[in-house]
Amino acid sequence: MSKILVTGGAGFIGSHVADKLVELGHDVVVVDNLSTGKRENVNPRAKFYEIDIYDTDAVNRLFTEEKFEYVYHLAAQASVAVSVKDPVKDANWNIIGSINLIKASIEHGVKKFVFSSTGGAIYGEDVKVFPTPESVFPQPMSPYGIAKFSVENYLRFFSKEFGLKYTVLRYGNVYGPRQDPYGEAGVVAIFTSRMLKDEECTIFGDGEYTRDYVYVADVVDANIRAMEKGDGLVINIGTATGTTTNELFKVLKKLTGYKKDPIYGPHRKGDIRKSLLCYNRAWIELKWEPKHSLEEGLKKTVEWFKRNTQA
């Protein structure tokens, strides 16, 4: 049993990672400022601290008190749109907060740091290879993507200079139970929630934007494997299968019994046209591959929203 910190553990992906670590018998501590996370998402068998990771003193006190062996860093300002509107806020949360955690991990002898990055926003608009492998140099087109790539480089630096073991996981578009339908990220959650309430659904742009949708349980599996594997590597976690927003809408429409057509709105700044991830490295290094098809994952997600959405 290890003492493990999960930042963002009251949020969507983080709470699922924390649940799995608790299930495996680890001693889990969750940190979240509850700006978007929810207290009810925190596993009852995990210890919870409500702090901001960009509060340096609070982070140092936490590491001194708890003496972590592993850190799973999932806390983030996770919206591309918000990062475009407020890049300073995005940098404070996603860069400064991450550096605080990395430095504290080194000072307190953490065995490994697993960082949740983005495959969706990091490679940029000029990619010529699909599915995109990690060998393609990132050219992020949003402050969110820039921040994630910055932290990847900080990890590389701190690993070289101070010996911190790390693995970076670059996610596709993660979806599943507990995703917040009221934020600006997570089109699956937004569409599902609005369809179940028979509300209008807006598709930004022409709906032909392609994304790599990966189910949250598969992302959790990758995180667990990264505890012991993939040291010093950046690894894509996706499905290598592209789905347009229009196609996604049709599948969800069928699963929810929704009758309306979508409303089309303007293109959003920072949104790239196509994102599709190659996961060969994940298979080679982590022995990981996605287990859930899109239809299967969406069905489970819709079932969860039906149980948890108040009409």
Q: Are 166 and 114 in contact (CB under 8 A)?
A: yes
Q: How many structural domains are present in the chain?
A: 2
Q: Flag whether 246 is in a domain.
A: yes
Same domain, 156 and 49: yes
Domain of 265?
187-209+242-275+297-308
Q: Flag whether 182 is in a domain.
A: no
Specify the range with the lowest mean pLDDT, choosing from 18-27, 61-70, 238-247, 268-277. 268-277
Return the ∠ at Cα 270 (arms to 264 and 276), rounded to 5°: 85
Same domain, 161 and 102: yes
Q: Flag whether 73 is in a domain.
A: yes
Same domain, 19 and 67: yes
pLDDT digits (tens, 9 = 90+) for 66-82: 999 999 999 999 888 89
Q: Flag whether 11 is in a domain.
A: yes
pLDDT digits (tens, 9 = 90+) for 126-161: 999 999 999 999 999 999 999 999 999 999 999 999
Q: Flag whether 37 is in a domain.
A: yes
Q: Flag whether 180 is in a domain.
A: no
Classify burial at 261, counting beta carbons within 10 Å of its beta carbon; exposed 0-12, middle 13-18, buried 19 or more.
exposed
Q: Are 139 and 169 in contact (CB under 8 A)?
A: no
Same domain, 87 and 36: yes
pTM score: 0.97
Same domain, 140 and 73: yes
**DSSP calls for 121-187:** TTS-S---SSSBPTTSPP---SHHHHHHHHHHHHHHHHHHHH---EEEEEE-EEE-TT--TTSSS-H
Closest by CA to 28, choosing from 7, 48, 46, is 46
Same domain, 120 and 200: no
Same domain, 65 and 197: no
Same domain, 199 and 139: no
Of 49, 70, 123, 144, catalytic: 144
Alpha helices in the chain (DSSP H): 12-23, 56-66, 80-85, 87-91, 97-107, 143-162, 187-196, 216-226, 245-256, 280-286, 294-308
pLDDT digits (tens, 9 = 90+) for 96-125: 999 999 999 999 999 999 999 999 899 999
Same domain, 254 and 232: no
Q: What CATH number does the domain containing 256 carry?
A: 3.90.25.10
Q: What CATH number does the domain containing 55 carry?
A: 3.40.50.720
Q: Flag whether 181 is in a domain.
A: no
Task: State the pLDDT at residue 311.
Answer: 47
pLDDT digits (tens, 9 = 90+) for 245-266: 999 999 999 999 999 999 999 9
Same domain, 227 and 197: no
Helices 187-196 and 294-308 cross at an angle (nearest 10°) of 50
Is 72 designated active site? no
Same domain, 271 and 284: no
Position 286 pLDDT exceeds 50: yes
Same domain, 200 and 219: no
H or E stretch at 3: strand 3-7
Amino acid at 225: R
